[in-house]
Amino acid sequence: MIQRCDVAIVGLGPAGASAAIAAAQGGARVIALDRRREAGFPVQCAEFVPAMMGMDAGPVTSAQVQPILAMESFVENAHDRHTPDFRGKMIDRGAFDRQLVEQAMAAGADCRFGMQVAVDRGDGALVAPDGARFVADVVIGADGPNSPLGAAIGCVNRELVETRQVTVPLLAPQDSTDIYLSTRIPGGYAWLFPKGDVANVGLGVGREWRELLKPELEALLAMLVEQGKIADKRLGHTGGAIPVGGPVGVAGRIGGVQVLLAGDAAGLANPVTGAGIPAACISGKMAGEAAARIVAGDRDALADYYDDIEDLFGASLRRAVARRRELLAQWRDGTAEAADLRRGWIAYPQYWTDTKQVAPMAQRENGNELLEA
């Protein structure tokens, strides 16, 4: 009932699969576990991948449905700004996840689905319902915004946005994303992301306002139908939580087991846009590489993982956290106006001007956690 490996990974989304590829390629014996029955389903994603270094090839390209060339921003439903050269790809998320898992298996990782596991907080083992125990030197938590592994090491996403999305027929081809900013959507925004002959239409709000999800989505859909952008037909629906508080930590220990976190589990989704796929893939790869190095006895691997996360994500996430919290305070006291919405969104120059300083992320003295100081 005990299965041993060098690296155990919980979650086989983009972060976990990327970690499995890197760890296996680094020579580690890898077992990766996911509670879902198959890779990529159910899809809980708007399926837009913004252009980012290292994210323009491989599964992203092969899973592409269409390119995105620009962004249109609407404030209180009025077109307010055109952002040219805002590039990215709309992907088939199911196909994307499956290809990453196939790459992990080809690299030698043992990937298993339908495996719901709990964390033994005594010795760090992963325990299946039938009593099977997975024991590893390093465990990687790629188990989403409500990560049990993160909770086990005290790294918890406490700020979340709740989302709801439907897929609808798109009545005319479109190569831009539509972003809707409104004081009626506190803690988030709404979107239309074109995907060939359909579109993903949805919105996210701060968890304290989640009762607004249904009525505001219905109002958005009705407006888009009236404008002739979409047909009045629902082809699918999804939803989920997005961490928006910034990094909560990337490492800790349970007994003698080193735990690393990646992707949403570490709070690496952008707190303003919610974009998480690039951060998941990149941080997952870095976590897998670090895990293989730790197993091989490299004493610098953990510190290098901290440094790499800070160097790549620190500055942008700090700005996004600061902008989000500024606007959140205005939503809560009822003073948010159109100018505040613009200042809080990436398409506007006001977003990029100086903001209240937020301290850099730093390791705690025990070397186990990466936090905002």
Query: Which CATH number characterizes residue 177's domain?
Result: 3.30.9.10
Instruction: Report the DSSP pairing between strands 160-169 and 198-206.
Output: antiparallel
Is the pLDDT reported for residue 60 higher than 90?
A: no
Neighbour tally for 112: CB within 10 Å: 14
Neighbour tally for 253: CB within 10 Å: 15
362 or 67, higher pLDDT: 67
24-28, 57-61, 66-70: which range is least confident on average? 57-61
Q: pLDDT of 278-318, one tens digit each?
A: 999 999 999 999 999 999 999 999 999 999 999 999 999 99
Count structural domains, the chain.
Answer: 2
Please name the amino acid found at residue 238: T
In this structure, the answer to whether residues 248 and 334 fall within a common structural domain is yes
Q: What is the pLDDT of residue 108?
A: 98
Q: What is the pLDDT of residue 366?
A: 33
In this structure, the answer to whether residues 291 and 211 fall within a common structural domain is no
In this structure, the answer to whether residues 265 and 193 fall within a common structural domain is no
In this structure, the answer to whether residues 150 and 248 fall within a common structural domain is yes
In this structure, the answer to whether residues 134 and 220 fall within a common structural domain is no
- Whether 151 is in a domain gets the answer yes
In this structure, the answer to whether residues 180 and 150 fall within a common structural domain is no
**Where would I find the beta strands (DSSP E) of the chain?**
2-10, 30-34, 48-50, 64-75, 78-91, 110-113, 118-119, 126-127, 133-141, 160-169, 176-181, 190-195, 198-206, 236-243, 251-254, 257-261, 361-363, 370-372
In this structure, the answer to whether residues 236 and 357 fall within a common structural domain is no
Q: What is the pLDDT of residue 55?
A: 59
- Whether 52 is in a domain gets the answer no
- Whether 263 is in a domain gets the answer yes
Q: What is the pLDDT of residue 356?
A: 56
In this structure, the answer to whether residues 262 and 229 fall within a common structural domain is no
In this structure, the answer to whether residues 35 and 127 fall within a common structural domain is yes
Q: What is the pLDDT of residue 54?
A: 55
pTM of the model: 0.92
Q: What is the mean pLDDT of residues 31-53?
A: 85
In this structure, the answer to whether residues 327 and 210 fall within a common structural domain is no
Q: What is the pLDDT of residue 373?
A: 26
155-164, 331-340, 349-358: which range is least confident on average? 349-358
2-11, 39-48, 110-119, 219-228: which range is least confident on average? 39-48
Q: What is the pLDDT of residue 61?
A: 81
In this structure, the answer to whether residues 150 and 102 fall within a common structural domain is yes
Last-in-domain residue among 241, 266, 295: 241
Is the pLDDT reported for residue 193 higher than 70?
A: yes
In this structure, the answer to whether residues 176 and 309 fall within a common structural domain is no
Question: How large a percentage of the chain has pLDDT more than 70?
Answer: 93
By residue range, what is the domain housing residue 110? 2-44+93-158+244-372
Q: What is the mean pLDDT of residues 114-134?
A: 94
